[in-house]
């Protein structure tokens, strides 16, 4: 195994995650999930030996991380933090090229192979139109992709990313996650990333590290989700305790959106009204009457008339 945690307790002054024993190997992609404040970023910093373990062992490529130099850790693990400092007077291409200098002195000139690899990374991230842009002029999304590009240019066996899809739209999220999965499978890299957008991210992750109640639950993605029902069935905010949902016959998305609309707008028992989504329209039945509504506004007007 490339990365191993043995009976490890993780935290900064206080214990955040206790007695962790788990491992990951090259070729795997693992998602870290958990609520804010449970220790996701602290865990990542512990893996980089920026924060020492409170107890236990951390092995990187079968070596205790305490015995590895910071230079060697940096060569083996590329990192992208969600809040990274932006270098002044750098273009996007300059930033991505920086990933190569983990292997060279700062005064070294990149060879043709390195330069071509940087160009390939820029293309793969769909950033060619921005490669000469100053970093300060990039959108948040393109800046995030540029920092990911720097990590890719480092060409390390392991890449750790803290919220890599922050600031990205849906299309770019999928593109980044697909790129990371391809790296794991085609180049046998270990990819470990945290994300709040786990519904999308889980499609690309082989394994999940789920942090809850100071414990880390690790395993194959689908098995972790099966054993932690709260991940698949998030709790709704009870903003309207007097609301009683009506019977709704509709596809899951349409049903959820109608429930959301009704819950926000009606503090009453609507169980006597039946809704059926059919051919793009809502069929609304109340006692013996049945009417067709084209929109939620029509439904709102109809309920107001009923009550």
Q: For the residues of 119-183, what is the DSSP string, one character each?
A: HHHHHHTT-GGGTTSBGGGS-HHHHHHHHHHHHHHH--SEEEEESTTTT--HHHHHHHHHHHHHH
Cα–Cα dist 282/142, whole Å: 41
Asked if residue 285 is part of any domain, the answer here is yes
216 and 98 share one domain: yes
Residue 305's SS3 state is: helix
Residue 14's SS3 state is: strand
Predicted local confidence at residue 253, as pLDDT: 85
206: domain CATH number is 3.40.50.300
Per-residue b or e along 127-146, where b marks 16 or more CB atoms closer than 10 Å to that residue's CB: beebbebebeebeebbbbbb
What are the per-10-residue average pLDDT scores of the chain (307 residues)?
97 93 97 92 94 96 94 92 82 94 77 94 95 93 92 94 87 90 93 86 91 96 87 63 85 88 86 92 91 93 85
Q: Residue 307's CB: how many other CB atoms inside 10 A?
A: 12
Q: How many domains does the chain have?
A: 2
79 and 221 share one domain: yes
- Strands 63-64, 55-60: pairing kind: antiparallel
Predicted local confidence at residue 236, as pLDDT: 55
Cα–Cα dist 42/141, whole Å: 24
Domain end position, chosen among 232, 264, 290: 232
Identify the domain containing residue 280 by its residue range: 248-306
208 and 282 share one domain: no
Cα–Cα dist 195/198, whole Å: 6
């Amino acid at each position: 195994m490339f990365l191993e945690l043995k009976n490890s307790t993780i935290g900064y002054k206080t214990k955040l995650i206790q007695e962790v024993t788990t491992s990951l190997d090259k070729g795997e992609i693992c998602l870290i999930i958990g609520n804010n404040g449970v220790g996701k970023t602290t865990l990542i910093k512990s893996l980089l030996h920026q924060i020492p373990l409170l107890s236990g062992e951390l092995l990187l490529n079968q070596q205790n991380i305490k015995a590895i130099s910071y230079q060697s850790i940096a060569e083996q693990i590329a990192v992208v933090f969600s809040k990274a400092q932006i270098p002044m007077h750098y273009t996007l291409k300059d930033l991505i090229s920086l990933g190569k200098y983990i292997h060279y002195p700062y005064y070294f000139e990149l060879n043709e192979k390195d330069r071509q690899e940087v160009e390939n990374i820029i293309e793969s991230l769909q950033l060619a139109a921005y490669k000469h842009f100053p970093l300060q002029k990039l959108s948040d999304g393109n800046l995030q992709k540029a920092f990911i590009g720097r990590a890719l240019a480092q060409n390390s066996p392991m890449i750790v990313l803290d919220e890599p899809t922050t600031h990205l739209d849906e299309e770019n999220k999928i593109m980044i996650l697909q790129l990371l999965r391809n790296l794991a499978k085609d180049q046998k890299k270990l990819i470990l990333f945290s994300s709040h957008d786990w519904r999308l991210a889980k499609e690309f992750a082989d394994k999940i590290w789920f942090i809850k109640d100071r414990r880390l639950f690790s395993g194959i993605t689908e098995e972790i989700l099966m054993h932690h029902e709260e991940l698949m069935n998030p709790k709704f905010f009870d903003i309207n305790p007097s609301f009683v949902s009506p019977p709704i016959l509709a596809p899951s998305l349409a049903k959820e959106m109608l429930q959301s609309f009704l819950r926000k707008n009606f503090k009453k028992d609507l169980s006597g009204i039946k809704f059926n989504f059919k051919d793009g329209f809502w069929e609304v039945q109340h006692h013996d009457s049945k009417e067709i509504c084209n929109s939620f506004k029509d439904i709102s007007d109809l309920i107001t008339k009923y009550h």
